[in-house]
């Protein structure tokens, strides 16, 4: 298997996943679908079931969306507002009023929860691009996020327009390069030497 090919056995939702920067600016995600996205994240596993996550969920056209868009960076401001949904992904970093970590897995578990949200979005025919090009403290202030929480990332979720090409390739955007498998496996532990 060449290292730049997605293997045939990969689940279709994983194999077809990519991170577009072009979204259909007319397509709307309904409230029930947006709720399902949150449910997907909500049922993700976490260390000791600590659930160190929260979300600011905005649908294009609502007031929350307008307030989030104000804090996008110039780069993300060019494409993210056209997605149907914008989500700010928050991690519970500290125990309130202290500098003690709430969980050593706060970011790890938030990443998992966002991955679960992404699978659910894919299952609904939507695509997701996560990004960091926004004003973290701007959003925290705008939404009164207390300092023991962190606005870690954002997700743009929507439908890729038909004329944007069919994912995952040929696709607009950067190529889906990945390090070869052999680099991901610790040198002494290559599957092929055991298998």
Q: Which is nearer to its own copies, 23 or 163 (CB)?
A: 23
C-alpha dihedral over 28, 31, 36, 39, to 10 degrees? 130
Q: Which is nearer to its own copies, 155 or 159 (CB)?
A: 155
- Give how many residues touch its own copies by CB under 8 A: 77
Q: Which is nearer to its own copies, 50 or 82 (CB)?
A: 50
Q: Which is nearer to its own copies, 103 or 159 (CB)?
A: 103
CA 79 to chain centre: 15
Burial (0-12, 13-18, 19+ Cβ within 10 Å), 42: middle
Closest among 26, 3, 5 to 159, alpha carbons compared: 26
Rounded to whole angstroms, the Cα distance separating 13 from 122 reads 6
Q: Which is nearer to its own copies, 74 or 179 (CB)?
A: 179
Q: Which stretch binds its own copies (CB under 8 A): 20-28, 73-81, 94-102, 143-151?
A: 143-151
3-state secondary structure of 3: coil
Return the number of other C-beta atoms located less than 10 Å from residue 107's C-beta. Answer: 18
Q: Which stretch binds its own copies (CB under 8 A): 20-28, 69-77, 99-107, 158-166?
A: 99-107
Chain positions 8 to 27 lying near its own copies, rule: CB under 8 A, are: 9-11, 13-15, 17, 19
**Residue of 21, 83, 130, 158 that binds its own copies (CB under 8 A):** 130
Pairing of strands 85-92, 53-59: antiparallel
The enclosing H or E element of 86 equals strand 85-92
Return the number of other C-beta atoms located less than 10 Å from residue 156's C-beta. Answer: 24
Chain positions 106 to 125 lying near its own copies, rule: CB under 8 A, are: 107-112, 114-116, 118-120, 123
Residue 6 in the binding site for its own copies (CB under 8 A): yes
Residue 172 in the binding site for its own copies (CB under 8 A): no
Chain positions 26 to 85 lying near its own copies, rule: CB under 8 A, are: 30-32, 34-36, 38-45, 47, 49, 51, 53-59, 62-64
Beta carbon of residue 97, minimum distance to its own copies (angstroms, whole number): 19
- Token pair 């897995």 in the structure block, residue: 105
């Amino acid at each position: 298997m060449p290292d730049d090919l997605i293997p045939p056995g990969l689940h279709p939702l994983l194999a077809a996943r990519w991170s577009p920067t072009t979204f259909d600016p007319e397509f709307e995600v309904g409230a029930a679908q947006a709720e399902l996205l949150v449910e997907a994240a909500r049922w993700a596993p976490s260390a000791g079931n600590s659930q160190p996550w929260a979300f600011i969920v905005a649908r294009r056209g609502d007031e929350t969306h307008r307030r989030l868009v104000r804090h996008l960076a110039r780069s993300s401001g060019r494409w993210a507002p056209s997605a149907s949904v914008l989500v700010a992904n928050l991690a519970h970093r500290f125990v309130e009023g202290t500098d003690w970590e709430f969980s050593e897995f706060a970011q790890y578990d938030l990443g998992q929860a966002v991955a679960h949200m992404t699978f659910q979005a894919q299952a609904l025919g939507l695509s997701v691009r996560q990004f960091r090009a926004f004003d973290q403290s701007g959003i925290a202030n705008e939404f009164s996020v207390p300092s023991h929480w962190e606005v870690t990332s954002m997700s743009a979720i929507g439908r890729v327009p038909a004329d944007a090409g069919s994912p995952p390739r040929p696709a607009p955007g950067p190529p889906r390069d990945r390090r070869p498998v052999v680099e991901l496996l610790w040198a002494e532990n290559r599957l092929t030497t055991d298998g």
